[in-house]
Chains A and B, each alone.
Chain A
Amino acid sequence: MLRRLAALLVLGVVPASAETSDISAILDGHVMPGYQTLAAQAEGLASAAQEDCRPDAPGLRTAYHAAFDAWVGVSHLRFGPSETEDRAFALAFWPDSRGATPRAVRDLIVQSDPVADTLAGFQTVSIAARGFYALEFMLFDPAFVQAGEGAYRCGLVQVMSADIAANAQAILTGWEGGYADLMRQAGANETFRDRNEAIRQIFTALSTGLEFTAQTRLGRPMGTFERPRPMRAEARRSGRSLRHVMLSLLATRDLTALLSDGDPDLDAAFARALDLAERMDDPVFAGVSTPQGRFEVEALQSAIDDIRRKVAQDLGPRLGIAAGFNALDGD
């Protein structure tokens, strides 16, 4: 206690009268339900693929969308069990600026690579050939739905789905089997030496999730004014680009409410961004090439940047923390 006080005084920082966020409420109301939904929907996807593996099978497509929705709802929670054994990377390798996913999936199909015959074998392949974005090629890309042998394609769709289900279950098991307790019992373990470390982890996830949505989900297709890049829109083949922005905003809004004790100003900022997104009639951001379409996407991006600013400069100080390092810090 003394030591901490000394440090604060040395730096001339006023000890923050930090608000308390309820870690258990965040876990029970946000994290655990999110990963439970993902595990259940991913299991549904695996079953649907077993029943009918044809790319246009309605049951398979419905299950794919439901499971992908569930993933986007937790895609900001990239720490702990999701990072163990590359699970989240293998669920969702995107962006893919070098086209590794189509290349890796094509290689499997062209060679009828027997590595995909078993789940254990498939779990050793490049993450680019695994997860929701690889499966999207198999279900929605005309060049892939007819490539190679039908039986191999069917097996690949099934093993991709089973792999997604296994990963989702492994993440949930990690949370239920100890990681959530590490956060609840922050201060009594080395992973989280005090409450602030657990809150900082959650806060970092929130700010990274918002950054990813603004800079990557929107920023990549926007490109520059001279050179818009609509083909870079996330999951455009399945028509999900805008949907991902909205789902991630809903999820981070929920987390923000729990972290901020229902701060109305922050919630209103989310409402503004969601309202802009709902009024857009451009599911895959094809409009970034037109002045009006671009204007709409820019407005949405700046609304999310406004949330990010409030989170960093208003919520952070109130909690007495700043975001830690994240995976987007590099290039």
Chain B
Amino acid sequence: MQSRVLLPCALAVGLGSVAAVQAEPAKSDVLDTYADIAAAKFEDSLISARALQDAVNTLIATPSAEALQAAKAAWIAARVPYQQSEVYRFGNAIVDDWEGKVNAWPLDEGLIDYVDASYGGPSDENAFSVLNVVANASFALSGDPVDAAQITPVLLAETLHEADGIEANVATGYHAVEFLLWGQDLNGHGPGAGGRPWTDYAPGAACTGGNCDRRAEYLRAATDLLVSDLDWMAAQWVDGGAARAQLMTDETAGIAAILTGMGSLSYGEQAGERMRLGLMLNDPEEEHDCFSDNTHNSHYYNGIGIQNVYLGEYVRIDGTLVSGPSLSDLVTATDPALDTEMRGALSTTVMALGRIKTAAEAGFAYDMMLERGNTAGEALIMGGVEGLIDQTRSIERVVAVLGADAIEFEGSDSLDNPSAVFE
């Protein structure tokens, strides 16, 4: 209601063109679009994970080089919608609390299966970094005996995942499946992904790496779990779902949630933890999708996800468009120059991330970009980092202009009562 009254004010401040002026959308409509896009992204993630599940089942039933390749291709495809969904994570506790099950990273993969000698033994930080569940049907974990004769989703989720309270003990999710499909990437800073042979899933005497049946059992359990976890999250965003309901309880808090998700993923997570840190450490192990060498896509689709949430337009995996009143519309009605700035910053980032993707697809692998002294690689990655940092400044300006910072004054949930946030 207030927005209509104020529209003349917005006109009075002298916009460049009258055509640019839009009626301010209702915040509830902006939140609806945001929730609709979440529902679509998580449903797409679920659909593509089911395709991965089919391919994995084929690999296990009839192992072959072709079947392994088909499973890898399905995994790569499944990452496209999922990475775009990550912008929902930091603004929505229901997503953040769940995320560790499906996308935990980095991992000490020796927990799961055999690793190269160069990987090393148990570390100060993690006594279970070479546990190798595939090879061991029973073992002790923090003093308690564990029966792993059957490798089940329950064993992975409730016993092995984050074993001993160590986050690097990742037993479930995309990256566990990725490791089981590709194996370790032993090429260092050279091109090439992990080279696990299909015979790691072969029956009888053809089996390489040992325990092929248990490895297959692990792969099936991890993939099934991924599908069921995504199924659960997709259900939270449909009409009547808990995530959608939470988002709608307070409109300003809902708008703040969108911006928090955009800013936190841009700055602390992607620019910092995922991109700049790996570059500063010159460490190919710091690649986000390190087994599959898919990191360039992982970064790119994160950037696309941030952009499409702001614009309120998401292209689904079947090509259909989900769109509606957007945060961009809301900003335009208040401060069109800031909307232009925000759009420009998001586009610049996507362009910079696109350069990394293009170079990687043309043969300049992300591993190579991270190498000490590789100035071209450093420039490519820093281009993405700087774009993300720059867009964060614009996001902060949007927060201020929309008054979404008032939420902050009401208290940080994590400070006041961590468990009360999403009751």
Residues of A whose CB lies within 8 Å of any CB of B are 2-13, 86, 89-90, 93, 97-100, 104, 115, 124-128, 193, 196-197, 200, 223-224, 226-227, 231, 305, 308-309, 312-313, 316-317, 321-331
Q: Are B268 and A324 in contact (CB under 8 A)?
A: no
List B240-264 residues whose CB lies under 8 Å from chain A.
252, 263-264
Look across to chain B and name the residue whose beta carbon is closest to the beta carbon of A208.
Answer: B268
Would you call B282 an interface residue if the criterion is a C-beta within 8 Å of the partner chain's C-beta atoms?
yes
Q: Are A126 and B373 in contact (CB under 8 A)?
A: no
Return the contact of B106 from the options A12, A98, A326 (Cβ within 8 A): A98
Would you call B157 an interface residue if the criterion is a C-beta within 8 Å of the partner chain's C-beta atoms?
no
In the bound complex, residues from chain B placing their C-beta under 8 Å from that of A321 are: 400, 405
Can you report 10 residue pairs joining A to B where beta carbons are below 8 Å apart?
Answer: A2-B9, A3-B9, A86-B276, A89-B276, A97-B167, A126-B283, A127-B280, A322-B408, A327-B267, A329-B269
In the bound complex, residues from chain B placing their C-beta under 8 Å from that of A328 are: 268
Would you call B24 an interface residue if the criterion is a C-beta within 8 Å of the partner chain's C-beta atoms?
yes
Provide the B381-407 mask, 1 if CB < 8 A to any CB of A, else 0: 000000000001001110111110111
Assembled-state Cα–Cα distance A128/B286 (Å): 13
In the bound complex, residues from chain A placing their C-beta under 8 Å from that of B405 are: 321-322
In the bound complex, residues from chain A placing their C-beta under 8 Å from that of B168 are: 97-98
Return the contact of A7 from the options B281, B403, B411 (Cβ within 8 A): B403
Q: Are A126 and B280 in contact (CB under 8 A)?
A: yes
Q: Are B281 and A3 in contact (CB under 8 A)?
A: no
Q: Are A313 and B12 in contact (CB under 8 A)?
A: no
Q: How large is the interface on B (under 10, 10 to 19, 20 to 34, 35 or more residues)?
A: 35 or more
Assembled-state Cα–Cα distance A193/B393 (Å): 11
Q: Are A227 and B164 in contact (CB under 8 A)?
A: yes
In the bound complex, residues from chain A placing their C-beta under 8 Å from that of B410 are: 313
Q: Are B415 and A312 in contact (CB under 8 A)?
A: yes
Look across to chain A and name the residue whose beta carbon is closest to the beta carbon of B282.
Answer: A126
Look across to chain B and name the residue whose beta carbon is closest to the beta carbon of A328.
Answer: B268
Would you call B10 an interface residue if the criterion is a C-beta within 8 Å of the partner chain's C-beta atoms?
yes
Assembled-state Cα–Cα distance A45/B13 (Å): 57
In the bound complex, residues from chain B placing their C-beta under 8 Å from that of A193 are: 397
Would you call B138 an interface residue if the criterion is a C-beta within 8 Å of the partner chain's C-beta atoms?
no
Return the contact of A9 from the options B2, B335, B392 (Cβ within 8 A): B2
Q: Are B125 and A10 in contact (CB under 8 A)?
A: no
Q: Are B395 and A325 in contact (CB under 8 A)?
A: yes
In the bound complex, residues from chain B placing their C-beta under 8 Å from that of A313 are: 409-411
Assembled-state Cα–Cα distance A210/B10 (Å): 39
Assembled-state Cα–Cα distance A226/B285 (Å): 30
Return the contact of B267 from the options A86, A316, A326 (Cβ within 8 A): A326
Q: Knowing A13-B403, A98-B168, A312-B415, say if A317 contacts B272 (CB, 8 Å).
A: no
Assembled-state Cα–Cα distance A3/B11 (Å): 9
Return the contact of B281 from the options A10, A124, A128 (Cβ within 8 A): A128
Q: Are A2 and B13 in contact (CB under 8 A)?
A: yes
Would you call B187 an interface residue if the criterion is a C-beta within 8 Å of the partner chain's C-beta atoms?
no
In the bound complex, residues from chain B placing their C-beta under 8 Å from that of A326 are: 267-268
In the bound complex, residues from chain B placing their C-beta under 8 Å from that of A89 are: 276, 280
Would you call B318 an interface residue if the criterion is a C-beta within 8 Å of the partner chain's C-beta atoms?
no
Q: Knowing A6-B6, A309-B416, say if A331 contacts B269 (CB, 8 Å).
A: yes
Assembled-state Cα–Cα distance A312/B408 (Å): 7
Look across to chain B and name the residue whose beta carbon is closest to the beta carbon of A6.
Answer: B9
Assembled-state Cα–Cα distance A310/B159 (Å): 40
Q: Are B90 and A312 in contact (CB under 8 A)?
A: no
Q: Are A329 and B268 in contact (CB under 8 A)?
A: yes
Distance in angstroms from B25 CB to nearest chain A CB is 12
Look across to chain A and name the residue whose beta carbon is closest to the beta carbon of B256.
Answer: A322
Distance in angstroms from B422 CB to nearest chain A CB is 18
Q: Are B2 and A12 in contact (CB under 8 A)?
A: yes
Q: Are B273 and A331 in contact (CB under 8 A)?
A: yes
Q: Are B281 and A127 in contact (CB under 8 A)?
A: yes
Q: Knowing A10-B2, A227-B164, A309-B411, say if A125 contacts B125 (CB, 8 Å).
A: no
Assembled-state Cα–Cα distance A86/B280 (Å): 8
In the bound complex, residues from chain A placing their C-beta under 8 Å from that of B281 are: 100, 104, 126-128
Return the contact of B415 from the options A12, A90, A124, A308 (Cβ within 8 A): A308
Of A127, A227, A309, A329, chain B has the most CB atoms within 10 Å of the CB of A329
Assembled-state Cα–Cα distance A308/B264 (Å): 19
Would you call B165 an interface residue if the criterion is a C-beta within 8 Å of the partner chain's C-beta atoms?
yes
Would you call B123 an interface residue if the criterion is a C-beta within 8 Å of the partner chain's C-beta atoms?
yes
List B210-230 residues whose CB lies under 8 Å from chain A.
none
In the bound complex, residues from chain A placing their C-beta under 8 Å from that of B123 are: 99
Q: Are A231 and B283 in contact (CB under 8 A)?
A: no
Q: Are B268 and A322 in contact (CB under 8 A)?
A: no
Q: Are B6 and A10 in contact (CB under 8 A)?
A: yes
In the bound complex, residues from chain B placing their C-beta under 8 Å from that of A223 are: 165
In the bound complex, residues from chain B placing their C-beta under 8 Å from that of A5 are: 9
Of A90, A313, A316, chain B has the most CB atoms within 10 Å of the CB of A313
In the bound complex, residues from chain B placing their C-beta under 8 Å from that of A11 are: 252, 402-403, 406
Distance in angstroms from A43 CB to nearest chain B CB is 24
Known contacts A4-B401, A10-B403, A93-B280; 19 further A-B pairs (Cβ under 8 A): A3-B9, A6-B334, A7-B334, A13-B403, A124-B372, A126-B372, A127-B281, A193-B397, A200-B400, A223-B165, A309-B411, A313-B410, A321-B405, A325-B264, A325-B396, A326-B268, A327-B272, A329-B264, A329-B268
